């Protein structure tokens, strides 16, 4: 089991981090979120094309990089930490589904960065459902068919999270007759991918309050010197350490240990969902009044954390799955 | 007049005059129409003798006792009176003037305040002085026949409608921070006062930021003594606490979509794990409600809860976040995205966005824990480094310079 | 609804408190617990006879004082706070059961303080089962018969809580054909009685750590001045305030609002069980190393808190009952 | 010899010599027989070259590298070697002497320590100096040719078997507390040393209290310089941390009756609420286990976890109490009373009684949070009032007088 990053993964992290710091810093995130599309297509295109990130886990024969989930987790952690608006996660989920079910044509466009895609995760809801070129969904009686649709009715929804949109979409026609195993594995990989994003959201919201507690003064002392703040931050750090360990483990299981993947994926969602919201919420509260303002970013993390926690269904679903897998 | 008779008359008056529906007046941010209607109602209320029931007759009150006030409040509880925009004036600013104002201030300001002719706001908090109010930086410099004020205030309710403000400003930076403050009455329409709505994380603007740019205040508008502003502010804050404690008892909003009664209708209680979470919420809600009722009973018995009220406030703040978090977790994806045509859509999302307000307004959870620890349990205070140092030598947040 | 003590109840509290402070202070508790019987019969006799506390809620016509649960709760809070060893709670539960089911003969002895009694609460376990003169149990197909036995096999058990013993006992013969309602009400009243004891345990363990934090120095400061300690104690105080409110409410329901009693009783057990253990556990931990020693009382509160939490069955039983009563 | 060969030989030696069952020697408190057996094994271990593998040859060690030590440890992991009573000497006292002792101290003490002829204990903590070790009050007064020690130590493991102790005592109360300490080697059999077992809340005695009543220590037994005891103690504590970090990785005891694997067998998993609680325990256990594994992988890669190990320790302390509490709550009445003939009876009760140990030994949870906050997150320190004040002017707990 490998729980530490390889030198190449660390390098990938630096690449993505510095790309996002320059292409999508917090003010750009707000501008993009408030724009008509809700994201900056140029940033998405560069992530997809220039950096090749939408095809990261797509096999080389289908035009991707054939990298692993260890790498994908590193990327999603950074896009989460940056609260990147837009369809990067949605397109990644689509790439996962198509890769696991052996579809090729749509995959090529995704890997090339020319197709923006999404997957219906719940009912008829899809992340970036209004903006995607292709909407995938899982259908069929056995839940083992992949359907796809371009065009169709897209009804944008209002969302808690201002940095990422959702829409109601209609299912399309069958593109792949996948195996039930392939679809199940794809769902587990969705869980790993979302957990990696959650890790980034968690980390960034902790970093924000740690930084603030080193400059904010109350009663002539930096607030980070008060145990009332310090001990909470220490607990959050403990949460971060565990969260990161779980995400590395789940990514390793995705790459190397298919038998462990279902349990690791359910564990990752069960832990990260709670952990991320609790840290984001704790961070917001410790900011004091300024954390309640629209202008401060704390609420964006708080809202993304909640949106992510329920993205793949209510949290109890992951716990119930874990109970089943543990044969409790 | 005996109390029964007083109460009967109040009931009749309310029946005849209180608005049954107070759509735009009972809530947080009435529009201009709402404010005009509220002012009109307030004038009627005052003229009928039901505004300032316990306030001294001399300055425009009714000079009656707590008994009459309670009797009126009991009758009024059946209505949602449009008094929100006057609440700061009635609960904090007015009582401060009654206690500390000069006779001419009382004569000039109290009757219009009680009659709803002038709306008041309170100007203490600043961006760099939240929990630590006495660290405020807005300064007032003495000038010909008065003072000139520069600085910024924040978290000011009803300021967009306010005619007057009770302002705390620094008049001497060479003495320790609690000693260089002075309280003023400021004309919110004066040149140099800018009120800007402060958009909060719900996307709405419940509060304002106020900018003072060379605002002139006449000398007669100093409240109390120059340099004694901290003690004046303590009086104001004491009235704030009293008015909260005397109010409805902080039980949370009944129509909260994240509260137990709402969730029992909406959550999937066929799942035993969901049932167990709802039981947890019920337990916590009942525990706090009973505690609030006990405090209210003690208060009625003449036992002022004092700092124990901070325990109730802390618990409410935690419960509010807990239940909004729980409700959204139980609801799943539909809590965070909804069709704009769905009337019920977004209610949980808004509850979640609003939830931190209870923890951040009126003292953070950490401040509440300090109060409970030090004033209820009598635990030793933190060592203080800011008490005997000139204000100008104290640290400030970040790179802020003065 | 009355949630504050009457002047008479405050007086009763002072009486019991000062009696226990002189008759059963902490060193005497330890001596009694380590003695052969496990308690000091003289103390029990004085509580029963001189103070008339075993017959507190017994109707006057059966030799009791005919007082209410408001009074009983005050007394049990004090015996809990003092960690009183012996059969006071057991005998009180027996008095409740007999009063609610209309038995008279045994009740007279209990009220007079001449009979030490107990009730089987779970399987064949009874508090002070080896020491009691009479062992009551609930039997019959409908769970509506009260059985009693003197003598019989009594097998002392080992216990977590050194300050109160338990034993396995055998059911006896029927003494009352009670109504199912009477038995159900008695069970609710058991819950109220145990909650009152738990309130005392909670309060005393909080008081102990508050006092310690005002004398213990670390790094040249009283430990109570550190927010790491202070904020925990503030949270525990919040728990105490709520716990006391619930116990007063449950006692009021027992006295005045029979319809509310089942819900109040389940609420009381569900809240107090957790609250009491959490405060006792937090108090022990904040004492530092000394809290881990046998000689310090912190572990006695910790163990009583856990023993009380499961006395009437596993905690989830109370929560499940509450769910049923709430018609969830 | 290449590493493979070294490892092969170690394997063979262990197979031939390591006790398969170590009933009374692997645990906390071996009896006299157990200690004798442990000493006999240790002598064999030393004579075979497997004690002090990395310690300098000059003083009795083997002078080999970490690689050999790891190879031996990997082979030894299959056994429970009876080395418990030597663990303080091997992990803390010996390494301190190697670093700071005089040559004659090293010559005199290290070989017998490695060979198990002399058992060592560590004497730092005192009743009034737990988290704040430097506040210790045991004093050593200089006298003819040595020192005389009076005072009390506590929480001392293996002291009842110890021949030597590494003692920290105050030799100067007129300087700040960190500056007036000196480290000594004390003969635990000397007149005036009393070892008393300290009964803990489990009812057992895992630790001891040590009383020093006019105990004489010869001058040559000072370790390091007089007055430099704090720095010496820091060295000792650093070795303690290294020996813990190099150990098994704090994963909790596998045979804990309150751990997930035990509860999944004993709990009523037909109840969905119970299942959900077990899932919670599984999540927390796995989260910590994976964190520990990650730290171990980083350590193997040469990245010493430092203060992050305190995060793992804090989490383990919390998990230990959480799971003992959960297990007893799930089990209900039978967790707290049991028949003495029931072999499984009382196991959960004991787990609950032992649970706080993890939080109280090796630094409380509050101390761990300070360490994580200040050394991992680099948060500003608490203002300190005890650094530049003579020890005699510092506050002490309660009414303690000196």
Q: How far is B233 from chain A (nearest CA, A)?
A: 17
Which of C122, C226, C319 lies closest to D333 in CB terms?
C122
Pairing of strands C217-218, D337-338: unpaired
Partner B contacted by A154 (CB < 8 A) = no
Q: Are D223 and D188 in contact (CB under 8 A)?
A: no
CA B77 – CA B70 distance, rounded (Å): 10
Q: How far is C161 from chain B (nearest CA, A)?
A: 27
CA D335 – CA D329 distance, rounded (Å): 8
Interface of C with D in 215-234 (CB under 8 A): 215-222, 226, 228-229
Give residue B245's pLDDT.
Answer: 53
Report the CATH number that the domain containing residue B106 is assigned in CATH. Answer: 1.10.540.10
CA C250 – CA C262 distance, rounded (Å): 9
- Name B183's bridge partners: B168, B223
Residue A274, Cβ density class (10 Å: 0-12 exposed, 13-18 middle, ≥19 buried): buried
Question: Quick check: C168 and D128 CB within 8 A?
Answer: no
Q: How far is B3 from chain D (nearest CA, A)?
A: 55
Helix, strand, or coil (residue B301): coil
**Range from B225-229, B252-256, B332-336 carrying the lowest mean pLDDT:** B252-256
Show the domain range for D202.
Answer: 121-239
Helix, strand, or coil (residue B276): helix
Question: Quick check: D271 and B276 CB within 8 A?
Answer: no
Residue D248 in this model has a pLDDT that exceeds 70 = no
ipTM of this complex prediction, to 2 decimal places = 0.94
* Residue A216, φ and ψ in degrees, nearest 5: -80, 130
Q: How far is A234 from chain C (nearest CA, A)?
A: 12
Q: What is the 3-state secondary structure (H, E, C) of chain A?
A: CCCCCCHHHHHHHHHHHHHHHHHCCHHHHHHHHHCCCCCCHHHHHHHHHHCCCCCCCCCHHHCCCCCCHHHHHHHHHHHHHCCCCCCHHHHHHHHHHHHHHCCCHHHHHHHHCCCCEEEEEECCEEECCCCCCEEEEEECCCCCEEEEEECCCEEECEECCCCCCEEEECCCEEEEECCHHHHHHHHHHHHHHHHHHHHHHHHHHHHHHHHHCCCCEECCEEHHHCHHHHHHHHHHHHHHHHHHHHHHHHHHHHHHCCCCHHHHHHHHHHHHHHHHHHHHHHHHHHCHHHHHECCCCHHHHHHHHHHHHCCCCCHHHHHHHHHHHCCC
A198 to A13, A27, A38, D158, D282: CA distances (angstroms): 16, 21, 20, 47, 20
| B chain contacts of residue C322, beta-carbon cutoff 8 Å | 279, 282-283
Q: Are A224 and A233 in contact (CB under 8 A)?
A: yes
Domain count, chain D: 3
Domain end marker among D119, D145, D164: D119
Give residue B177's pLDDT.
Answer: 94
CA D389 – CA D386 distance, rounded (Å): 6
| B chain contacts of residue C4, beta-carbon cutoff 8 Å | 294, 297-298, 301
Question: Quick check: D329 and C226 CB within 8 A?
Answer: no
| D chain contacts of residue A5, beta-carbon cutoff 8 Å | none
CA C41 – CA C19 distance, rounded (Å): 15
Which of D273, D339, D385 lies closest to C155 in CB terms?
D339
Residue among B5, B117, B220, B240 flagged as catalytic: B240
CA D315 – CA D320 distance, rounded (Å): 8
Q: How far is D169 from chain B (nearest CA, A)?
A: 29
Band (pLDDT 50/70/90 cuts) for residue D26 is: very low
DSSP-derived letter for residue B20 is: S
Q: Is D240 considered catalytic here?
A: yes
Residues D125 and D100 in one domain: no
CA B163 – CA A52 distance, rounded (Å): 60
Residues B113 and B125 in one domain: no
Give residue D168's pLDDT.
Answer: 97
Distance linking the first and last C-alpha atoms of chain B: 59
Q: Are D253 and D181 in contact (CB under 8 A)?
A: no
Which residue blocks in B101-214 are alpha helix, DSSP H? 103-114
Q: Are C50 and C20 in contact (CB under 8 A)?
A: no
Number of Cβ within a 10 Å radius of residue B16:
9
Residue B273 placed within a domain = yes
Pairing of strands B222-223, B181-187: antiparallel
Partner B contacted by D398 (CB < 8 A) = no
**A-D contacts (CB, under 8 Å):** 116
A neighbour chains, 3+ CB pairs within 8 Å: B, C, D
DSSP-derived letter for residue D18 is: S
Residues D15 and D86 in one domain: yes
Residue of B nearest to A226 (CA): B382
CA count, 13 A, side-chain hemisphere, B319: 27
Partner D contacted by B271 (CB < 8 A) = yes
Q: List, for residues D263-316, the tens digit of each pLDDT value.
A: 999 999 999 999 999 999 999 999 999 999 999 899 888 888 889 999 999 999
Residue D106 in this model has a pLDDT that exceeds 50 = yes
Collect the ranges in chain A with pLDDT lower than 70. none
Q: How far is A236 from chain B (nearest CA, A)?
A: 16
Q: How far is B365 from chain D (nearest CA, A)?
A: 19
Residues D62 and D45 in one domain: yes
Taking the mean position of all CA atoms in its chain, how far away is CA B221? 23
Partner B contacted by D381 (CB < 8 A) = no
Instruction: Find where tokens 């000062």 sit.
Output: C18
* Residue A4, φ and ψ in degrees, nearest 5: -115, 155
Helix, strand, or coil (residue B116): coil
Give residue D24's pLDDT.
Answer: 42
Report the CATH number that the domain containing residue B302 is assigned in CATH. Answer: 1.20.140.10
Q: For residue D290, which of C254, C109, A199, B218 has the smallest C-alpha distance? A: A199
Instruction: Please give the helix or strand (H or E) that residue D320 lies within, else none.
Output: helix D308-331
Residue B388 placed within a domain = no
**B-C contacts (CB, under 8 Å):** 115
Which of D280, D311, D380 lies closest to A222 in CB terms?
D380
Q: Are B95 and B65 in contact (CB under 8 A)?
A: no
> To the nearest 10°, the Cα dihedral for B284, B285, B291, B295?
150
Which of B272, B273, B383 lies closest to D385 in CB terms?
B383
Residue of A nearest to B399 (CA): A215
| D chain contacts of residue C158, beta-carbon cutoff 8 Å | 337-340, 345-346
Residue B50 placed within a domain = yes
B39 to A257, B251, C273: CA distances (angstroms): 71, 28, 52
Band (pLDDT 50/70/90 cuts) for residue B274 is: very high
The CATH number given to A183-325 is 1.20.140.10
Band (pLDDT 50/70/90 cuts) for residue D23 is: low
Q: Which residues contact A55 (CB under 8 A, 6 or more apart)?
A: A48, A62, A63, A64, A65, A95, A110, A111, A112, A113
| A chain contacts of residue B328, beta-carbon cutoff 8 Å | 306, 310
Helix, strand, or coil (residue B240): helix
Which of D276, D308, D373 lies closest to A241 in CB terms?
D308
Residue D19 placed within a domain = yes
CA D197 – CA D159 distance, rounded (Å): 9
Domain end marker among B119, B146, B165: B119
Q: Which residues contact A127 (CB under 8 A, 6 or more apart)?
A: A87, A89, A90, A93, A118, A119, A121, A164, A165, A166, A311
The secondary structure of D81-134 as a DSSP string is: -S-GGGHHIIIIIHHHHHHH--HHHHHHHHHHHHTTSS-EEEE--BTTBSS-GG
Give residue B24's pLDDT.
Answer: 42
Residues B158 and B230 in one domain: yes
Q: What is the 3-state secondary structure (H, E, C) of C290-318?
A: HHHECCCCHHHHHHHHHHHHCCCCCHHHH
Q: For residue B223, which of B182, B260, B252 has the smallest C-alpha distance? A: B182
* Residue D273, φ and ψ in degrees, nearest 5: -70, -40
- Name A202's bridge partners: none
Residues D10 and D37 in one domain: yes
CA B218 – CA D370 distance, rounded (Å): 51
Number of Cβ within a 10 Å radius of residue D281:
21
Q: Determine the residue among B268, B271, B273 to mutate to test chain D binding: the one whose Cβ has the most chain D Cβ atoms within 10 Å.
A: B273
Residues B110 and B163 in one domain: no
Interface of C with B in 162-221 (CB under 8 A): 210, 213-214, 221
Residues D185 and D72 in one domain: no
Instruction: Find where tokens 């097998």 sit.
Output: C155
C72: left (phi over 0), alpha (psi -120 to 50) or beta: alpha
The secondary structure of C163-232 as a DSSP string is: TS-EEEE---EEEEE--HHHHHHHHHHHHHHHHHHHHHHHHHHHHHHHHHHTT-EETTEEGGGSHHHHHH
Which of A160, A226, A295 lies closest to B336 in CB terms?
A160
| B chain contacts of residue A168, beta-carbon cutoff 8 Å | 339
B neighbour chains, 3+ CB pairs within 8 Å: A, C, D
Band (pLDDT 50/70/90 cuts) for residue D25 is: very low
| B chain contacts of residue D272, beta-carbon cutoff 8 Å | 271-273
Q: Determine the residue among A226, A229, A285 to mutate to test chain C binding: the one whose Cβ has the most chain C Cβ atoms within 10 Å.
A: A226
Helix axes A315-325, B308-331, angle to 10 degrees: 70
Residues D95 and D182 in one domain: no
Residue B397 placed within a domain = no
Which of D325, D335, D385 lies closest to C277 in CB terms?
D325
Q: Please, what sign has the CA dihedral across residues C150, C156, C161, C164?
A: positive
Residue D328 has which token pair? 């007893």
Residues B252 and B223 in one domain: no
Residue among D12, D68, D240, D318 flagged as catalytic: D240
| A chain contacts of residue D372, beta-carbon cutoff 8 Å | 234, 237-238
Residue C238 has which token pair? 């919040």
Partner B contacted by C245 (CB < 8 A) = yes
Which of B273, B383, B385 lies closest to D276 in CB terms?
B273
Residues B168 and B264 in one domain: no
Q: How far is C314 from chain D (nearest CA, A)?
A: 4
Please list the rounded mean pLDDT of every run of 10 residues in chain C (328 residues): 96 98 97 96 92 94 94 98 97 96 90 94 91 93 88 94 96 86 96 98 98 95 97 98 98 98 98 98 97 97 98 96 96
Which residue blocks in B203-335 are alpha helix, DSSP H? 229-245, 260-266, 272-300, 308-331
CA B125 – CA B152 distance, rounded (Å): 9
Residues B96 and B125 in one domain: no
Mean pLDDT of D157-168: 95
Mean pLDDT of D104-116: 96
Length of chain A: 328
Residue C24 has which token pair? 């059963």
Band (pLDDT 50/70/90 cuts) for residue B81 is: confident
Band (pLDDT 50/70/90 cuts) for residue B248 is: very low
Domain end marker among D119, D154, D188: D119
């Amino acid at each position: 089991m490998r729980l530490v990053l390889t030198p190449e993964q660390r390098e990938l992290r630096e690449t993505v981090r510095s790309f996002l710091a320059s292409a999508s810093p917090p003010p750009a995130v707000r501008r993009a979120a408030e724009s008509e599309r809700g994201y900056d297509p140029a940033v998405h295109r560069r992530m997809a094309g220039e950096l090749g990130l939408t095809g990261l886990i797509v096999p080389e024969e289908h035009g991707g990089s054939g990298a692993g989930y260890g790498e994908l987790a590193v990327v999603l952690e950074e896009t989460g930490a940056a609260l990147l608006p837009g369809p990067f996660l949605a397109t990644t989920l689509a790439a996962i589904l198509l890769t696991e079910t052996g579809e090729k044509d749509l995959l090529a466009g995704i890997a090339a960065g020319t197709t923006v895609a999404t997957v219906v995760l719940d009912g008829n809801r899809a992340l970036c459902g209004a903006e995607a070129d292709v909407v995938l969904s899982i259908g069929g009686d056995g839940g083992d068919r992949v359907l796809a649709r371009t065009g169709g009715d897209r009804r944008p929804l209002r969302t808690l999270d201002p940095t990422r949109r959702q829409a109601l979409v209609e299912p399309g026609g069958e593109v792949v007759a996948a195996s039930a195993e392939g679809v199940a594995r794809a769902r587990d990989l969705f869980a790993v991918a979302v957990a990696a994003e959650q890790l980034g959201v968690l980390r960034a919201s902790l970093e924000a309050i740690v930084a603030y507690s080193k400059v904010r003064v109350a009663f002539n002392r930096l607030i980070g010197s008060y145990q009332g703040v310090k001990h909470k931050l220490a607990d959050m750090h403990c949460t971060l350490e565990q969260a990161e360990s779980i995400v590395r483990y789940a990514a390793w299981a995705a790459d190397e240990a298919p038998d462990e993947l279902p349990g690791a994926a359910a564990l990752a969602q069960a832990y990260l969902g709670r952990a991320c919201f609790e840290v984001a919420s704790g961070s917001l509260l410790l900011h004091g009044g300024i954390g309640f303002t629209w202008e401060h970013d704390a609420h964006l993390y708080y809202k993304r954390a909640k949106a992510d926690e329920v993205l793949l269904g209510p949290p109890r679903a992951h716990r119930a799955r874990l109970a089943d897998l543990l044969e409790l | 007049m005996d109390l029964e008779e007083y109460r009967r008359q109040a009931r009749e008056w309310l029946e005849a005059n209180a608005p049954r529906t107070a759509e735009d007046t009972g809530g947080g941010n009435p529009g201009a129409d709402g404010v005009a209607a509220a002012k009109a109602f307030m004038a009627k209320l005052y003229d009928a003798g039901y505004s300032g029931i316990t306030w001294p007759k001399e300055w425009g009150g009714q000079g009656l006792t707590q008994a009459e006030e309670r009797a009126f409040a009991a009758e009024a509880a059946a209505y949602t009176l449009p008094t929100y925009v006057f609440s700061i004036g009635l609960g904090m600013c007015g009582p401060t003037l009654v206690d500390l104002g000069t006779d001419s201030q009382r004569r000039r300001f109290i009757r219009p305040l009680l009659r709803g002719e002038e709306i008041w706001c309170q100007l203490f908090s600043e961006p760099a002085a939240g929990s630590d109010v006495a660290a405020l930086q807005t300064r007032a410099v003495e000038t010909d026949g008065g003072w000139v004020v520069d600085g910024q205030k924040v978290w000011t309710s009803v300021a967009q409608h306010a005619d007057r403000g009770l302002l705390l400003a620094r008049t001497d930076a060479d003495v320790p921070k609690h000693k260089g403050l002075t309280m003023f009455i400021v004309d919110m329409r004066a040149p140099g006062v800018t009120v800007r709505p402060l958009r909060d994380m719900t996307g709405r603007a419940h509060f304002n930021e106020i900018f003072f740019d060379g605002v002139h205040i006449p000398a007669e508008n100093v409240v109390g003594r120059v340099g004694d502003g901290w003690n004046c502010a303590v009086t104001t804050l004491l009235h704030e606490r009293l008015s909260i404690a005397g109010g409805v008892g902080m039980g949370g909003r009944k129509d909260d979509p994240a509260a137990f009664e709402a969730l029992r209708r909406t959550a999937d209680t066929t799942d035993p794990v969901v049932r167990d979470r709802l039981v947890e919420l019920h337990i916590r809600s009942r525990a706090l409600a009973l505690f609030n009722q006990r405090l209210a009973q003690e208060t009625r018995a003449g036992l002022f809860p004092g700092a124990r009220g901070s325990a109730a406030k802390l618990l409410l703040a935690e419960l509010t976040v807990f239940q909004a978090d729980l409700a959204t977790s139980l609801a799943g994806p539909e809590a965070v995205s909804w069709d704009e045509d769905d009337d019920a859509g977004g209610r949980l999302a808004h509850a979640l966005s609003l939830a931190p307000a209870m923890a951040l307004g009126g003292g953070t959870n950490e401040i509440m824990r300090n109060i409970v620890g030090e004033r209820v349990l009598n635990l030793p205070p933190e060592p203080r480094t800011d008490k005997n140092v000139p204000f100008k030598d104290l640290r400030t947040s970040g790179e802020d310079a003065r």
